Amino acid sequence: MTSILGWAHMLLKNSLQESQRRHALDVIERSAESQKELIDNMLDMSRIITGRLKLNASPVEIEQILLAAVDVIRPSAEAKRIDLQS
């Protein structure tokens, strides 16, 4: 929140060059997105604790998920000379 307020204050003073203005807006956007994610997570936790979280369960093809997970970690495993088999 501090970075949002600080950069917003500087933008309002009109004392920034164009490159600094673009940077300020980028920082504000990233910080606001982080704040939004944090609030969403807190609301989810509240729903879980109070029992109001509803999950829609549906079947998934676990094989595809596992193969995708192996593909994600394969480069790290190969770098460490670990042989993955699926």
User: Which of 28, 32, 35 is CA-nearest to residue 7?
Assistant: 28
Predicted confidence band of residue 86 (pLDDT cuts 50, 70, 90): confident
What pLDDT, in 10s, does the model give residues 7-60?
999 999 998 999 999 999 999 999 999 999 999 999 999 999 999 988 889 998
Radius of gyration of the chain (CA): 22
**pLDDT at residue 84 is higher than 90:** no
Q: What amino acid occupies position 58? A: S
